[in-house]
Structure formats: structure tokens, C-alpha cells
Amino acid sequence: MENLKQITLCFFIASLVLAGCSASTGLLKGRDRGSQPKPDTFCEQSFIKPTIYQTKVEKQRIKDPTFDFNGTLLSPAAYQTLAVDQITEKKQTVSFRAICENDLTAEFILGLQQGLSARGFFDDRLTGSMDTETRRAIKAFQLEQGILSDWPSWETARMLGLEPL
């Protein structure tokens, strides 16, 4: 019976120790635990990357030169300059890891606004809401990373200092 009490006590102590060793909760540095997105849970967003054209200027001969029987030039060749558009990248749908909508708390959005403001992309009032100005600033910031979307990506969150632990 004494042995059973010791085993039960060991299991109890082990469960208390293990309760303190949980997986990363995806907290953001310097933020409150309850309202931050988890890096292991993400949503996928996508955008259409447009076709990219390159204009190439070509000279095309439209009339050959003419010569007489002695080889003397009677009329020179005539050329036309044409601008030809060539596709360098086809239109494609690009997906990226995005912050899930239910993780966009007022506190998290406020952190985005502060980070964007510090980098000169957001000059409106800090509201903590995903309003038009916030989305415009996110899109302008992400455009530099090649993300053509006004929805915040995980990479954007990290770059703005909202680093997952």
C-alpha cells in the first residue's frame, strides 16, 4: 500500500512538472498571452500576380535596297521601328501564410499600426481596428516584399516586430 502511495505521488508530481512544459503558445514578444495569434496555426490568403510584359524595340526591314546592273545603289533599304510586347512572367495566383481573421485582435492590429507608423507607412490615428487606412498601409508595406495584398502575412508581422516566440 505504501508503494502505491509513492507511485501515485510520483505521478502527481510528474503531472505538475509536465503541466509547466507546454508547447509554444505562439505569443508575441511583449504582448498579452490571451490575444495573440499562434504561429503553428495560420490561414492562407492569395492574390493574383499580373502578367508582366517587357517592351522590346525592333527594327524591321520593310523594303530591300535596289541596285542597278553595275552594283550602284538606286534606293536604300527602308526600315520600320516596332515596339513588341513580350510576356516575361505569366499571370499567376500566389498564396502566402496570413494571420487568421480571428487572431486580428484590437491589440494585434494596434501593434501592426505602430510598426507601420514607425516605418512611415501609417500616418493615421492608432485605432486598433482594421480600417481602410490600416489596410492601405499594410498593402504598401507588403508590396515591397512582393505580396500584393492588404491582408497581413506572418512575414509582415515578424518584420514589424510582432515576433512569435
151 half-sphere exposure, CB direction, 13 A CA radius: 15
102 plus 45 within the same structural domain? yes
115 plus 153 within the same structural domain? yes
The reported pTM is 0.57
pLDDT in tens, 120-146: 999 999 999 999 999 999 999 999 999
At 162, the pLDDT band (50, 70, 90 cuts) reads: confident
Decide: helix, strand or coil at residue 34.
helix
109 plus 133 within the same structural domain? yes
Whole-angstrom distance, CA of residue 147 vs CA of residue 153 = 9
* Residue ranges making up the domain that contains 114: 26-50+93-159
Number of structural domains (the chain) is 2
Mean pLDDT, residues 28-37 taken together? 43
Whole-angstrom distance, CA of residue 134 vs CA of residue 83 = 40
Which residues in 40-111 belong to E strands, given as ranges? 43-49, 52-63, 66-67, 73-75, 78-89, 92-98
Residue 128, Cβ neighbours under 10 Å: how many? 18
Task: Point out the domain boundary residue: 89, 116, 141.
Answer: 89
Instruction: Decide if 143 is inside a domain.
Output: yes
85 plus 46 within the same structural domain? no
